[in-house]
Amino acid sequence: MNRNRLSTSPWNPYLAGAFLGVVLFAAFFLTGHGLGASGGIQRLVAGGMDLVVPDHVRTSPYLTPYSTGPLRHWIIPLIAGVVVGGFLSGKLGGRCRLETLRGPRIGNGTRWTMAFIGGSLAGFGARMARGCTSGQALTGGASLAVGSWAFMLAAFAGGYLVAWFVRKLWNEEAR
Amino acid sequence: MMAPFDWTGIGFYLVNLLLGIGFGVALERGGFGDSRRIAAQFYLTDLTVLKVMFTAIVVAMLMTLWAQALGFLDPARVWIDRTYLASGSLGGFLLGMGMVVGGYCPGTSLVASSNLKIDGFFFIGGLLFGITVFGESVNRFWDFFQQDGFRGMFTLDQWLHTTKGMTAVVVTLISLAAFWGSERLERLQPAPAGGRRVPGAGIKAGAVILLLAAFGLILVPQPGLSDRLVRLGPELDRTLSRREVQIDPAELVDLMHNNQVRLMLLDVRDEADFNLFHLLDAEHRGPGDLTTEFARSIDPEELVVVMSNDEVRATAVWKALRADGVRGAYILAGGINQWLDLYGGLADPPALPVSTAAGTTAGMNRETAEPLRYVFPAALGDRTEIAWPDPHHMHLPERTYTPKAKVLKPVTLAGGGCG
């Protein structure tokens, strides 16, 4: 029974966290770099732009380094793995189906709009901070970087500050 | 061979793919394929985000510090995020807001999308948009992004003026306290449909193991610079004997004129020699200034060229920098003396070799293992054209060299275009 639950349902958060910690350590140990996500999407964006508007990318000191052989960077196979691993795990647990996950008081249209807006904020913020929850909070947190801990505090602060204003998105009744 | 390893070819793709799969499974099993669970963190109804995140941080921190303490893992080659307090905090703040509004963060939106969550697709669409907007606007606040609150490689133990072991104990204790608080907070909520999950004996045992591992680190110190020099010595000597890092004066001239390279010129000679002549923008560092702290303050994108009169002192400093993890460190081949061999004659008045100079101002009569072989009419510092030889306005000697410095793809500056 235990084994069956382990292969299908979400794990105890502490167990999932310990497993994630071992994966992060394995990244440090095997490769010397940590984990990441937004940096990979940045490279795909810069690489894509390099195909369409190469002159523009090459005159941008920010974009140029990201557009240099974007597919040869470690983060690309890593985020490909995230997609594969996430899919396999969800498929095994029967959670892989076409659906919109949202709070009970909003429709799909609102959820999609807010997901796009939230994604934009997160994307802009992640690049501003040179990393997201993966590259800054987890990787920098575990390597004790002061900036990453400041990032984490700021992220929680931003989240809690806005939470009250968007409570209708997620909660059952007005609080 | 000490970890981490240099992966090439298929192994490089495979190891990163496998790490990514592990990461994806952990996120999905943590419940982060569901935006509602992530958002619940911010309404204090379900603190899974905090529990998973801090358990992962503590586990990875302890395992990494133990691997380093026992000599399996080279700390100088483990990536540590550089600290940019201003842009890092503002970025974190925006990302936190995005998480509540959008229900995901970049990594978890990939997991949600891989399980066909439509809100995940829209979040990724937003990410692409936000990242593009950032790339197009960052030039407007470039200094804020690159400089404000920049502290280089700055870790909590330095901030607290203590050891990594003590810091690990503090981080572990705070995390365990946060877990205890989370469990109390969640108990205020009505039990979820599937029944409440109470930490069992296994989880409590895990907490004890983490505590023991953290306290153990106080007794086993992290390797210091001399340990690392001994360990890395053979590798560094190989690099030096193959002359992979000694860059030709002509290459340095080209680097000085390449505005896409962030160049740091580190002059480690005696101050008297530095005052007589040094390269434009060179920083003088005495032996006492070359600490591990200094090495860690160097931006990883910077290209550091160390120079002494010949190569002796520069090589010693280069070794220490490399052992401290500065991978972009190089040595000026032949030092300042070879620089003057090449360009000294172009100055007006020219720098004169010691042997031919007759009684001019110089501090050359000191007994030193590595003397400056030229004399100058006065202490010029960088107030001479050969401190920054300009190929467009001076006839520099023709010279071919093998490029050694690893620099970014040069940016072509198209007329009229702006970033």
Q: Could you give the domains of chain B? A: 8-189+199-225 (no CATH), 226-387 (3.40.250.10)
Helix (H) or strand (E) holding A17: helix A13-31
* Contact call for A16 and B52, based on CB within 8 A: yes
> If you count them, how many residues does chain B have?
419
The C-alpha atoms of residue B303 and residue B255 are separated, in whole angstroms, by: 9
User: Contacts of residue B119 in chain A, CB cutoff 8 Å?
Assistant: 100-102, 111-112, 115
Higher pLDDT, B415 or A74: A74
Check: CB of residue B361 under 8 Å from CB of residue B377: yes
- Closest chain A residue to B76 measured between Cα atoms? A32
**CB–CB of A143 and B130 under 8 A?**
no
- At B68-98, the pLDDT tens digits run 999 899 888 888 999 999 999 999 999 999 9
Residues in contact with A79: Cβ distance below 8 Å, sequence separation at least 6, in sequence order? A36, A37, A40, A41, B20, B110
Contact criterion met (CB < 8 Å) for A155 and B92:
yes
Instruction: Kindly report the backbone phi and psi dihedral angles of residue A87, in degrees, each rounded to the nearest multiple of 5, phi listed first.
Output: -65, -50
In the prediction, which pLDDT does B297 show? 75
CA B291 to chain centre: 16
Q: Which of residues 34-63 of A touch B (CB under 8 A)?
A: 34-35, 37-38, 41-42, 45-46, 49, 55-56, 58-63
Distance CA B251, CA B332 (A): 9
Placement of tokens 């490029």 in the chain: B403
Name the DSSP letter for residue B411.
P
Closest-CA distance of chain A to residue B113, Å: 8
Give the nearest partner residue to B110 out of A45, A83, A170, using CB atoms.
A83
Cβ(A111)–Cβ(A72) below 8 Å: no
CA B110 – CA B131 distance, rounded (Å): 15
Q: How many CB atoms lie within 10 A of CB A174?
A: 7
Which residue of A6, A8, A29, A66 to mutate against B (max B Cβ within 10 Å)?
Answer: A29
CB atoms within 10 A of CB B361: 12
Cβ of A136 under 8 Å from any chain B Cβ?
A: yes
pLDDT at B357 over 70: no
Task: Determine contact, residues A37/A137, Cβ cutoff 8 Å.
Answer: no
Question: Would you call A164 an interface residue with chain B, using a CB distance cutoff of 8 Å?
Answer: no
Mean pLDDT of B180-188: 91
Residue B79 has its nearest CB partner, among A34, A95, A152, at A34
Residues of chain A in contact with residue B122, where contact means CB-CB under 8 angstroms, are 111-113, 115-116, 119
Give the ipTM.
0.95
Whether residue A15 has pLDDT greater than 90: yes
d(CA B409, CA A39): 18
A174–chain B nearest CA distance, Å:
12
Interface of B with A in 63-82 (CB under 8 A): 63-64, 67, 72-73, 77-82
Q: Is the model more confident about B337 or about B194?
A: B337
The Cα diameter of chain B in Å comes to 95
State the smallest CA–CA distance between residue B389 and chain A in angstroms: 25
What is the reported pLDDT for A4? 56
| B330, containing H or E segment | strand B329-332
| Number of other residues whose CB lies within 10 A of the CB of residue B405 | 19
Minimal Cα–Cα distance from A77 to chain B, Å? Answer: 5
- Which among B128, B100, B131, B262 has a CA at the least distance from the CA of A130? B131
pTM: predicted TM-score of the whole model, two decimal places: 0.80
Is the pLDDT at B417 greater than 60? The verdict is no
**Mean per-residue pLDDT of chain B:** 88
pLDDT category of residue B415 using cuts at 50, 70 and 90: very low
CB under 8 A, 24+ apart: contacts of B49-52: B50/B178, B50/B182, B51/A13, B51/A14, B51/A17, B51/B179, B51/B182, B52/A13, B52/A14, B52/A16, B52/A17, B52/A20, B52/B26
Structure tokens at B84: 């940019």
> Which among A83, A108, A140 has CB closest to B114?
A83
Interface test with B, best of A67, A89, A168 (most B CBs within 10 A): A89
A144 has a chain B CB within 8 A of its CB = yes
Mutate: best of B46, B77, B100, B203, partner A, most A CBs <10 A? B100
Contacts of A135 in chain B (CB under 8 A): 81
Closest-CA residue to A64 (of A52, A75, A54): A54
Query: Based on C-alpha coordinates, what's the Rg of chain B?
Result: 27
Tens digits of residue pLDDT in B135-152 = 999 999 999 999 899 988
Highest mean pLDDT among B4-13, B81-90, B299-308: B81-90
**β partners of residue B353:** B374
When pLDDT is averaged across residues B225-229 and rounded to a whole number, the result is 82
In this structure, chain A runs to a length of: 175
Is the predicted pLDDT of residue A131 greater than 90, yes or no? Answer: yes
CA distance A148 to chain B (A): 7
pLDDT at B355: 63
Question: Strand, helix or coil at B207?
Answer: helix
